[in-house]
Amino acid sequence: MIHIESYREVHRANIIETSVKIRFYVSSLIETAEVFSKRIRGDWRVENKVHYVRDVTQGEEASRIRTKPLVQIWAVARNFARSHIPRLWI
């Protein structure tokens, strides 16, 4: 079992908010902590890239759609559009 603690500081108007997140991973691989760290950070890079594409390119967070079925329908449409964009654009 892998235990990771992430520390984050947000600076706003002379106020510093600190938060700690603890995540656990389970793996059967036998690797060093450094190798696991690189693997986990690589996974988060992929997640952040997808979020960036969905938010910046498709404006997902700016969307005014709030009705339950429409949110899911538009998410499927955005995923479909993103999966069919040539890789040179992403």
Confidence of residue 90 (pLDDT cuts 50, 70, 90): very low
Residues 33 and 5: beta-carbon distance below 8 Å: no
pLDDT exceeds 80 at position 53:
no
55, pLDDT greater than 80: no
- Indicate whether 16 pLDDT > 50: yes
CB atoms within 10 A of CB 13: 4
